[in-house]
Amino acid sequence: MAEISPGSTPAPPSATPPPAPPARILVVGGGYVGMYTALRLQHKLRSGEAEVTVVTPEPYMTYQPFLPEAAAGNISPRHVVVPLRRVLSGCRIVLGEAVSIDHAKRTATLRTLGADEEGTGTVDVTYDELVLAPGSVSRTLPVPGLAEHGIGFKTVEEAIGLRNHVIEQMDIASSTRDPALRDAALTFVFVGGGYAGVEALAELEDMARYATRYYHNLKAEDLKWILVEATGRILPEVGEEMGLYAVRELRARNIDVRLDTRLDSCEDRVAVLSDGTRFPTRTLVWTAGVKPHPVLAATDLPLTARGRLKCTARLGVDGAEHAWAAGDAAAVPDVTAAEPGTECAPNAQHAVRQAKVLAGNILASLRGEPLQDYRHKYAGSVASLGLHKGVAHVYGRKLKGYPAWLMHRVYHLSRVPTFNRKARVLAEWTLSGLFKREIVSLGSLEHPRAEFELAAGGKKTDSPGGPTTWDTPRHRPKDTPKDTPGEPSDDR
């Protein structure tokens, strides 16, 4: 037995070191990547291992492939979105936008709803791990009149607003005695031959053609639909052969498809095309591509020439530890491509799969485990051309017509998040097959106080179908610079 000499102090018993504080994970964006990454982290994190904060401008994730069907009335708009607070119950949801990010200091500057109401400006949030997934915004060009009269098709609000607008134009055409006004109201111009433009035009043309049977003085032949595409093909993702079939299918429905043509101006509600054609129109839908979110330029992280984050195959930002990115915001090398330097396409197919690998790599980084590369060989694409019509090029197989349309629905039903949404969408599709289409316009929902203001002695600010409906896009980013005509497109 060891002796203790007089006056000596016994050594204290060994103490357990205090547990490390939970890591702070900040997810910027609540879209595909943001929601799926946070959801996987929520399920896989150990108790006390990390805290996840999601910063998003909207309290929901929009499943964008369903926007055309929502615009056509086949799906209720509330079933196109996924409520983040319910799905991400284990995460902290902050409604707002990231204004700038100083990754060297691990600080993000946010503009939140609360800060706006208080008039305090912005708030700073510190983090340990950063996931940048703000998505993309519409890519516009300095076309005269576009900012005043153009309509976007990227949010559920824009999709439902466009549906109301189209029906209102038919109401105007049915009730006016002015032939020029009638012609402009029944002319619908869509700019952009990617997924968004083609599917939106095809679904709305289907709906409007069906609606004409309920107008005593309108026929389907009175409606004029024009698709304007600057390149020589539409839907490049489905291949040249299926793209040509899509053009033939649209033209067979009396849709004017103009390839190798640009929109030069839309001032005074007249669409002027590069081939010299002029179309007086009250509806001009702009879907000519997307560009990275402007917050990426307000960071100290490396960007590519096209403004996307330079990423590694492990979905980390190149040269920046503890910073991660995926989806539209990230330039991720495609390790399955034959040609070196190829990047993954900025589409939903990659985004959902990247989110799974991204969440796994964050967990591995926190636990000191090896990371894995993202690798996924592109499976192909499907596109809807309206009810019971579509094109597909999947795993080398080409489909068209009803089989392609059915594949389109089955694929997206399998991909829409949560069983709740799958069941609701399937129920709505089943009911829409048993009953007639709904063709009512609820444009007054966009201005719910207009009637009360008028009754209270004020002035009614907006009239149905009026020009001010599209003057101020709801989600136009602040201080976003105009694009130049030569900027490349990320159109999907």
Express each pLDDT in 340-378 by its tens digit: 888 888 888 888 899 999 999 999 999 999 999 999 877
Do 158 and 130 share a structural domain? no
Confidence of residue 149 (pLDDT cuts 50, 70, 90): very high
Do 356 and 282 share a structural domain? no
Residues in the chain: 492
CATH value at residue 199: 3.50.50.60
Residue 463 lies in a domain: no
CA distance 322 to 302: 14
pLDDT tens track for 213-261: 999 999 999 999 999 999 999 998 888 889 999 999 999 999 999 999 9
198: containing domain: 150-288
DSSP 31: S
Residue 269 lies in a domain: yes
Q: Please, what's the b/e burial string for 35-66 (b: 16 or more CB within 10 A of its CB; e: otherwise)? A: bbbbbbbbeebeeeebbbbbbbbeebbbbbbb
Are 135 and 477 in contact by the 8 Å Cβ rule? The answer is no
DSSP string of 124-181, one letter each residue: EEE-SEEEE---EEE-----TTHHHHEE--SSHHHHHHHHHHHHHHHHHHHH---HHH
Q: Nearest to residue 38, comparing CAs of 412, 417, 295?
A: 417
Q: Please, what's the b/e burial string for 93-105 (b: 16 or more CB within 10 A of its CB; e: otherwise)? A: bbbbbbbbbebee
Do 102 and 88 share a structural domain? yes
Residue 221 exposed, middle or buried by CB count within 10 Å (0-12, 13-18, 19+): exposed
Q: What is the mean pLDDT of residues 194-199?
A: 92
Q: What is the mean pLDDT of residues 449-461?
A: 72
Do 300 and 274 share a structural domain? no
Do 237 and 283 share a structural domain? yes
Residues contacting residue 208 through CB under 8 Å, at least 6 positions apart: 166, 167, 170, 188, 220, 223
Residue 401 lies in a domain: no
- Output the pTM of the full model: 0.83
pLDDT score at 197: 93
Residue 277 lies in a domain: yes
Do 355 and 271 share a structural domain? no
Residue 485 lies in a domain: no
Do 273 and 218 share a structural domain? yes
User: For residue 82, what are the β-bridge partners?
Assistant: 61
Residues contacting residue 450 through CB under 8 Å, at least 6 positions apart: 444, 460, 461, 462
Average confidence score pLDDT of the chain: 86
User: For residue 206, what are the β-bridge partners?
Assistant: none
Residues 413, 419, 420, CA angle at the centre, nearest 5°?
Answer: 105
Residue 465 lies in a domain: no
Do 32 and 88 share a structural domain? yes
> 288, 313, 338: which is the final residue of a domain?
288
CA distance 258 to 239: 18
Do 117 and 224 share a structural domain? no
DSSP string of 89-112, one letter each residue: TTSEEEEEEEEEEEGGGTEEEEEE
Residues contacting residue 146 through CB under 8 Å, at least 6 positions apart: 140, 263, 266, 284, 286
pLDDT score at 489: 39
pLDDT tens track for 428-450: 999 888 887 777 777 666 777 77
Cα-Cα-Cα-Cα torsion 64, 234, 326, 369, nearest 10 degrees, comes to: 110
Number of domains forming the structure of the chain: 2
Residue 112 lies in a domain: yes
pLDDT surpasses 50 at 31: yes
Q: Nearest to residue 30, comparing CAs of 49, 57, 2?
A: 57
pLDDT score at 443: 67
CA distance 325 to 309: 7
pLDDT score at 139: 85
User: For residue 108, what are the β-bridge partners?
Assistant: 101, 125
Residue 5 lies in a domain: no
Do 262 and 192 share a structural domain? yes
pLDDT tens track for 37-89: 999 999 999 999 999 999 999 999 999 899 999 999 889 889 999 999 999 99
CA distance 331 to 343: 6
pLDDT surpasses 50 at 326: yes
3-state secondary structure of 201: helix
User: For residue 137, what are the β-bridge partners?
Assistant: 291
Q: Nearest to residue 106, comparing CAs of 320, 364, 297?
A: 320
> 288, 313, 343: which is the final residue of a domain?
288
Do 263 and 295 share a structural domain? no
Q: Please, what's the b/e burial string for 466-489 (b: 16 or more CB within 10 A of its CB; e: otherwise)? A: eeebbeebeeeeeeeeebeeeeeb
Residues 333, 417, 79, CA angle at the centre, nearest 5°?
Answer: 130
> 235, 265, 288: which is the final residue of a domain?
288
3-state secondary structure of 367: helix
Do 230 and 314 share a structural domain? no
CA distance 244 to 263: 22
Residues contacting residue 303 through CB under 8 Å, at least 6 positions apart: 296, 297, 309, 310
